[in-house]
Structure 1
Amino acid sequence: MNDPNDRSLNGIDRQLIQLLSQRIQRLSQPTSDRSPSSASIQAELQKAGVPPFVWNSLVTSCTAALATSALRLPEEPQQRITLVGGRGMMAQFFRQRFLAAGHEVRLLGRQDWHQAPDLLKDIDLALVCVPIDRTLEIIRQTAAYLPPTATLADITSIKGPMLETMLAAHSGPVVGLHPMFGPGVESFLSQKVVICPGRDRPAWQWLVDLMARDGGDLVESPPDEHDQMMVTVQAIRHFATFGLGVFLAQDGIEVGRSLELSSPIYRLGIDMVSRLFGQDAELYADIMLANADRREAIARLAQTFQALAEQVQAKDRQGLIAAMNAASETFGSETERAVRESDRLIEAMSILLAADRVVDSPSSITPPPDMK
């Protein structure tokens, strides 16, 4: 039991947890008042020496907590799941969420195929989590051992050939998934997952429900639409980031020093570049090279860069302005959303940097006025 008189940091933290639980519970009630903080709250913050950004983060986080719920309802049966390629990072993420829901999870790795008859026996779901270049082969190998009632699914970033192969190789339930995130997240909260339905939806609806209850942002798409959109969402974006990183390296830019002289928005951009170069090189190469559509789009992007660079070399100011105005029409109202969201990201980055500075220099901590 929490001691209300315990003024140690751990004691205060425990009390905060209880209060946050109460606040989230109150927000979940239909009659809850979710209006912005009143002037009296702002006055209390000022009196207590609590910066408004601390309060705003707390309020936003409590509201976001409403997007999640129990991963598995009491009346839902336990599922038996085999993760094929189960020792990879994305498979480990799914393993952690499945175990959190109380499901049984088996791992089938590269060296375990002699155990495939046992690992794939009497299961409810086989989730293929292997690199793109091996997915079709592994789908066929997996399907050979599956019971007809088991769902066969994959998480590859190309869906057309994968879904077609799963439907041909397995007579039972089939669904294609594409998690639009990489290793490092702790849950599905606000993570986009594309769902390409295949066959017998009732058999795998529990999987969709689990991701939704964990706060996932789920969207359904036919495989051909998905693959076309991924040309822009993945291949073009990754190539542009990859190209910028290679240029900075070849040009001898001192990245650390540039961060010392930059704004938070520049830091976010460099973080995205650095993040890519901290990932699996083979994965990103496969994403960019996956099919002709992606390779051709990357070539068109390079041509656009070349044309713009020639305008810069020619000091064609009006041409650059015209190109920017023309592109602005494509983005339209999305620019307003982008400014709003990026402002929040900049604020979050600023808070993180301030916290890091305090950790590095604890002597710089200044207590609120009424605590001096």
Structure 2
Amino acid sequence: MVLQSSFNPRLASIKDVKAKQITIIGGCGRMGNLFREQLLSVGHKVNVLEQEDWDDADKLLNNADVVLISVPIKYTVDIIGRAAKYLSPKTALCDITSIKTQPTEAMLKHHTGPVMGLHPMFGPSVKSFCSQKIVVCPGRNHESFQWLLDFLQNQGAELITYSPEEHDRMMVYIQATQHFCRLSLGIFLAQSNIDLEQSLSISSPSFCQEIEILQRLFCQNPNLCVDIMLATDERCQAINSLANTYSRLAKLVEQKDREGLIREFEKTQNFFKQ
């Protein structure tokens, strides 16, 4: 599947970069499509490979300057192995999955050329990369991706470099447990059948903000939320530990243990003191 535009120097954000030939595996998905549109807008040539296009994989992958993998977490490693068979050693291989250790290891194992992992810290509903954070996990020959990193920065993105392992440790708490918290709260509110419109009419700004976050979460494909929580054993263990914390605190509430709850609060205050 070929989706491309002619090069327009007036639109190019980095004028000295020659138009690249890019293939996005999963480019019709929401995040893949965002990258496709942004890359097309500055004149790069973008092909898309979807599930029905693997008969054309040799043509779509072998001649690409960059192959960008944008598929659900549970398929990423398998797709890396499948795609690598068609890649030239000069092709730069990159994924934009929200876990980094396993995909990066798979790319380094199956592909001899340049490798890098990216994690966009935003959803596909944004209109551009401006003011958005993107985590960069170098793998091999990272200089081959410099034009892409320059493009992202030129579009206003904030690039943050982490090792894949450091990234995944942080995402346990930044993503996985947060998704569980919000999934739990959303289910609780739905079960309680509260009148959302009425609640918002008398709520604090923080409650309004929380409801907006929940509404965005529950507008997404449920597979994305669930896969983020279940992506690694470490995430599952952290969520289980969080659930145990909920249970312990709920027990104090059930017992109306005011002093116990105050002690928990005070013990935690020091952690958040700046």
2:53 pairs with 1:109: no
Q: Which residue does the alignment assign to 1:50?
A: none
Equivalent residues of 1:311, 1:320 under 8 A apart: yes
Q: d(CA) in 2 for partners of 1:253 and 1:262?
A: 13
The alpha carbon displacement at 1:315 in A equals: 1.8
Match of 1:159 among 81, 93, 100: 100
Q: Which residue does the alignment assign to 1:201?
A: 142
Matches within 5 A, 1:1-372: 72-333=13-274
Residue identity opposite 2:93 in structure 1: L
- Structure 2 SS opposite 1:312: helix
- Structure 1 SS opposite 2:118: strand
The alpha carbon displacement at 1:71 in A equals: 5.7
TM-score w.r.t. length of structure 2: 0.93
Q: Which residue does the alignment assign to 2:6?
A: none
Q: d(CA) in 1 for partners of 2:125 and 2:214?
A: 16
Q: d(CA) in 2 for partners of 1:71 and 1:322?
A: 58
Q: d(CA) in 2 for partners of 1:214 and 1:92?
A: 16
Q: Which residue does the alignment assign to 2:7?
A: none
The alpha carbon displacement at 1:321 in A equals: 2.0
Q: Which residue does the alignment assign to 1:22?
A: none
Q: d(CA) in 1 for partners of 2:268 and 2:148?
A: 40
Residue identity opposite 1:109 in structure 2: E
Deviation string 1:221-270 (CA, Å, 9 cap, x unpaired) is 11111111111011100000000001111122222221122122211111
Which protein has the larger Cα radius of gyration, Structure 1 or Structure 2?
1
Equivalent residues of 2:14, 2:154 under 8 A apart: no
Q: d(CA) in 2 for partners of 1:194 and 1:111?
A: 30
Deviation string 1:296-318 (CA, Å, 9 cap, x unpaired) is 11111111111111111222222
Residue identity opposite 1:127 in structure 2: L
Report how many residues are paired. 264
The alpha carbon displacement at 1:158 in A equals: 1.2
The alpha carbon displacement at 1:198 in A equals: 0.5
Structure 2 unaligned segments of length 5 or more: list them. 1-10
How much is the aligned-residue C-alpha RMSD, in angstroms?
Answer: 1.2
Q: Which has the higher strand share?
A: 2
Equivalent residues of 1:71, 1:214 under 8 A apart: no
Q: d(CA) in 2 for partners of 1:72 and 1:145?
A: 30
Q: d(CA) in 2 for partners of 1:145 and 1:264?
A: 52
Deviation string 1:1-31 (CA, Å, 9 cap, x unpaired) is xxxxxxxxxxxxxxxxxxxxxxxxxxxxxxx
Deviation string 1:305-340 (CA, Å, 9 cap, x unpaired) is 11111111222222222222222211222xxxxxxx
Equivalent residues of 2:14, 2:151 under 8 A apart: no
Q: d(CA) in 1 for partners of 2:200 and 2:172?
A: 31
Q: d(CA) in 1 for partners of 2:248 and 2:110?
A: 47
Q: d(CA) in 2 for partners of 1:309 and 1:187?
A: 42
- Structure 1 SS opposite 2:130: coil
TM-score w.r.t. length of structure 1: 0.69
Q: d(CA) in 1 for partners of 2:12 and 2:251?
A: 54
Judge which range, 312-321 or 262-271, deviates more.
312-321
Q: Which residue does the alignment assign to 1:42?
A: none
The alpha carbon displacement at 1:145 in A equals: 0.9
Structure 1 unaligned segments of length 5 or more: list them. 1-69, 334-372
